[in-house]
Structure 1
Amino acid sequence: MASSSSPTQPSFNFVYQPDGSESGWVEARTHCDHLGSVSSDLTHIPIPNTPCNRCQHPSENWLCLCCKEVLCSRFVNKHMLEHFQQTNHCLALSYSDLSVWCFSCDAYLDAQVISSLRPVYETAYILKFGEAPPLRSEV
């Protein structure tokens, strides 16, 4: 197993498969200098199936954690990316997989570990699945 990381980039971990191919995952960061821009009320958020506020696309949408606007991903019409470029609101939660991305750090953040992000992660999980998220065991 090999890995690489830098202060501004996520850690990339690769597992080499028996056939010579590799699979990998990104290890989310546990700190971000931009957390001060998070909305003070992230327990009242739009439901996960809210369409993009600009194009009404029904899926692959993100929640801006600064202003709570719901916009589509860079794989649809890039409205959340444009929102970041226009407003500098850099933190967003994916309603698809509940991951949190910092556009300024260009990195995923661990919303289950970062105390200021955990409430929005838990709220989004409950809204999406109808139950509290399972406790993650620390390794």
Structure 2
Amino acid sequence: MRESNQAASSEQINDENRRGPFAIVPKYDCPHLGDNAYLFLQSTQHTGDQQPPCVDCNKTEENWACLHETCNYIGCSRYQQKHMLNHHQTTGHNICFSFSDNSVFCYACDSYVDSPQLHSLNRQLNRASH
């Protein structure tokens, strides 16, 4: 009986270690970025605190912009109605930008990404916020 209590205790400890905020470490070598220098198309830019609405459900929270070179799709996150995920699955467009925290995500890598190729996007964001 004592062994099962010890096993339960270590399982509880492991569960406790999984809770709480986690640091997200971006991938620095995403092959899906290609050679593009990423910028927002005029139609996907936003101003002020309001995010552009999701094309499919019109929500203005947790939205992402597709960064495929000619795409101007705005979709809500997987924590809303998953329209950006659906967009990726139907188009194969991998790279998208979060309006909530200015992060970039690659669906093919299933990872947040960072790269010098995204610096022009960051500069564009900084100019728009001033």
- TM-score, normalised to structure 1, is 0.66
Out of 115-124 and 58-67, give the one that drifted further. 115-124
Mapped pair 1:33 → 2:37: no
Shift of 1:29: 1.3
Shift of 1:83: 0.2
Shift of 1:42: 3.3
**Greater per-residue helix proportion:** 2
**Which deviations, in whole Å up to 9, do the C-alpha atoms of 1:56-110 show, x marking residues without a partner?**
0011100100013111001111000000000000100000000111000011112
What is the DSSP-based 3-state SS (H/G/I as helix, E as strand, rest coil) of the residue aligned with 1:93? strand
Residue of structure 2 in register with 1:79 after alignment: 83
Residue of structure 2 in register with 1:46 after alignment: 45
**Greater per-residue strand proportion:** 1
- The one-letter code sitting in structure 1 at the alignment partner of 2:96 is A
How far apart, in 1, do the equivalents of 2:82 and 2:35 lie? 21
Gaps of 5+ in 2: 1-15
Shift of 1:46: 2.1
**What do you get for the CA RMSD once the two structures are aligned?**
2.4
Gaps of 5+ in 1: 1-19, 132-139
Choose between structure 1 and 2 for higher RCO, CA contacts under 8 A separated by at least 6 residues.
2
Q: How does 1:1-139 map to 2 (within 5 A)?
A: 21=17, 23-36=21-34, 41-42=39-40, 44=42, 45-47=44-46, 49-66=51-68, 67-110=71-114, 114-127=115-128, 130-131=129-130
| Greater Cα radius of gyration, structure 1 or 2 | 2
How far apart, in 1, do the equivalents of 2:24 and 2:46 lie? 27
Distance 1:40 1:120, change over 3 A: closer
Structure 1 residue ranges, 4+ long, deviating more than 6 angstroms after superposition: none
How far apart, in 2, do the equivalents of 1:120 and 1:98 lie? 10
- TM-score, normalised to structure 2, is 0.71
- The one-letter code sitting in structure 2 at the alignment partner of 1:56 is N
Distance 1:126 1:96, change over 3 A: farther
